Structure 1
Amino acid sequence: MSGYSIAGNFDQYFSIKLANTKELKQEAYKIRHAVYCEELKWEACSDNGFETDEYDDHAFHCLLEHKRTGRYAGCIRLIIPPENAKNFQLPFEKNCLESARADVLDTQALPRGSFGEISRLAVLSSFRRREKEKNKPFVLESVDPETMYYEEERRNFPNIAIGLYLGGIALASLCNHLGIIVMMEPRLNRRLQRFGLPFEQVGDEVDYHGNRAMFFLKKEHFHYALNDQMQELYQIVYQSLAAQIKLKPYSDKSQYRIPDIVQSTSGSITPLSQRVTL
């Protein structure tokens, strides 16, 4: 389509929100319950209709709002291990650490607070409804849902998941993280690679809600390799979140030396737990 802008159309119909209130976080928990409990049956249903866990208090949560209806289409979170809680395990550490390729990247050597894990990406079925996708939490392909949404709006539905991914990456960038960990299917990684997100596989494939592996995205690859359309979308998402989050100066007195595989261009580390306030 001549002159078509993914970012422009996405921005017309959707907005990304930092879930920085109890009410907004509960909207994310409801989406997760609908997808992970009711639809996928990966977690047990709860009486209150929320899907929560021990990581939620250590995470930034994002929501994607459909502007015309005010409905929230999906959510994602970035979990940051507390800098002062050495025994706190991220989901990948608790469930899949034995699959890690420490010779590629020793995540246990990274300073706590200098990286995070993206997880709980979920998109409501009404924003991606298609028979072959009914048991998947998100898609990055074309869809044709039978919903109340206009055809022009539906054309943007395939971009919901990538918009949320970019939200998680933007948060990591705002936190000055060295990189991001995510457990995902290798085929999803191949799709993300085509968008310009060169995640590196740093773990063997395991059976974890399907065939998944540990992937790491370095700080220098957060957005610089994105194609032009995705770069434009990233900037919209980044600027929107930057306006919603407050940062305060932090000086790292430890002068920790970053391992060569994730060497920071700045040479400094800024643990989120001491630097960021909501």
Structure 2
Amino acid sequence: MKKLKSLADKPIIGGVVKRAMTSLASNDAKVISKHFSQYLRPQIANTEELRHEVYHLRHQVYCEELNFEDIKESHEEHDEFDNRSIHCFVRHLSSKSLAGTVRLIQSNAEQELLPIEQFCSHAIDHPELSPANFPRDAICEISRLAVPENFRKRAIDKFKGAATGAINEQAFSETELRCFPYIAICLYLAATAMAMQTKRYHGFVMMEPRLARSLTFVGIQFQQIGKLIEFHGKRAPFYIDARQLRENLSPGYLKLLESVERDLIQSGGLKPTTDKGYNNGFSMNPQVSTN
């Protein structure tokens, strides 16, 4: 796979190589999706107790491991955007600990800016794909994705900005270890599924361009809408239309998405619906924090 990546941007053969990489990733995801739910369970943090678990994990990653934020006396990391966010997390079933989290920030009024508008608007230069060009109740931002270091496996992911590192492999089974690199992808799938179900189709995120490129091999296609700036590392603004997620995902990752959706239903975050406007037959039952 590493050799293929080095050829993916080459002229003439690059397109063939990218298709090969996508096929390999899809085949691996088919295998992983069969085992993912045995070890890891996506859920919506729809109670005060669960949200405090999320805030504690965010403090561990953003304040203690990455030093992006100051250490808090409460050992919980949260801000003013949490009150209008849907929080999702992945729980490791055998240890009961959280293996990752992400939030979907909503906006319902002109004064309710997304973080990307409030802090990074100067980086957005796309003439059409700006949050200001869409109705406030149709936009959202994927934010605060965090995976703690004990669930970060691959040596290639040890760079600080990605919040990934070594893992104590003796503590987990071989199959569990294969699932761990998919936690971040699972969180992106959960976030875009939440965006789809709340009809907030126009999603925004600040991320590293190389992460966005990697996600295209999965079929999660973020579009860069501005320049690279310093924002907890070199990041750029990206846009995604949640309605295109299912049609772009490779077959293996469609299976993983379906697994994520089933787990979110069981956690009370999604509920079945007969609304034909939803491609996957689910609707959102959001529990937004009011703390």
Q: 2:75 aligns with which of 49, 60, 74?
A: 49
CA distance in 2, matches of 1:214, 1:136: 16
- Preserved CA contact (<8 Å) 1:145 1:154: no
Change over 3 Å in CA distance of 1:185–1:137 after alignment to 2: closer
Residue in 1 that maps onto 2:171? 148
TM-superposed CA distance for 1:144, in Å, is 5.4
**Identical-pair percentage:** 34
Give me the TM-score of the superposition, normalised by structure 2. 0.79
Higher helix fraction: Structure 1 or Structure 2? 2
Change over 3 Å in CA distance of 1:242–1:52 after alignment to 2: same
Residue in 2 that maps onto 1:239? 262
Change over 3 Å in CA distance of 1:59–1:143 after alignment to 2: same
Q: 1:34 aligns with which of 60, 68, 74?
A: 60
Q: 2:104 aligns with which of 61, 75, 78?
A: 78
Change over 3 Å in CA distance of 1:143–1:228 after alignment to 2: farther
CA distance in 1, matches of 2:188, 2:270: 21
- 3-state SS of 2:89 partner: strand
- Preserved CA contact (<8 Å) 2:102 2:143: yes
Q: Which amino acid aligns with 1:94?
A: Q
CA deviations 1:153-199 (Å, max 9, x no partner) are 11111111101111111111111222211110000000000100111
TM-superposed CA distance for 1:223, in Å, is 2.4
Q: 1:94 aligns with which of 100, 118, 136?
A: 118
CA distance in 1, matches of 2:92, 2:126: 41
Off by >4 Å, runs of 4+ in structure 1:
1-4, 129-132
TM-superposed CA distance for 1:276, in Å, is 5.6
Which ranges in structure 1 are unaligned for 5 or more consecutive residues?
250-265, 267-271
TM-superposed CA distance for 1:12, in Å, is 1.4
CA distance in 1, matches of 2:160, 2:129: 32
Residue in 1 that maps onto 2:139? 115
Q: Which amino acid aligns with 1:110?
A: F
Change over 3 Å in CA distance of 1:149–1:173 after alignment to 2: same
CA distance in 1, matches of 2:245, 2:139: 12
Does residue 1:17 correspond to 2:43, yes or no? yes
Change over 3 Å in CA distance of 1:39–1:147 after alignment to 2: farther
Give me the TM-score of the superposition, normalised by structure 1. 0.82
CA RMSD of aligned residues (A): 2.7
Residue in 2 that maps onto 1:63? 89
TM-superposed CA distance for 1:54, in Å, is 0.5
Residue in 2 that maps onto 1:184? 207
Residue in 2 that maps onto 1:135? 160
- Preserved CA contact (<8 Å) 1:174 1:242: no
Aligned residue pair count: 252
Residue in 2 that maps onto 1:261? none
- 3-state SS of 2:171 partner: coil
TM-superposed CA distance for 1:246, in Å, is 6.3
CA deviations 1:4-33 (Å, max 9, x no partner) are 611111111111010001110111111110
Which stretch shifts more, 144-153 or 228-237? 144-153
CA distance in 1, matches of 2:124, 2:161: 25
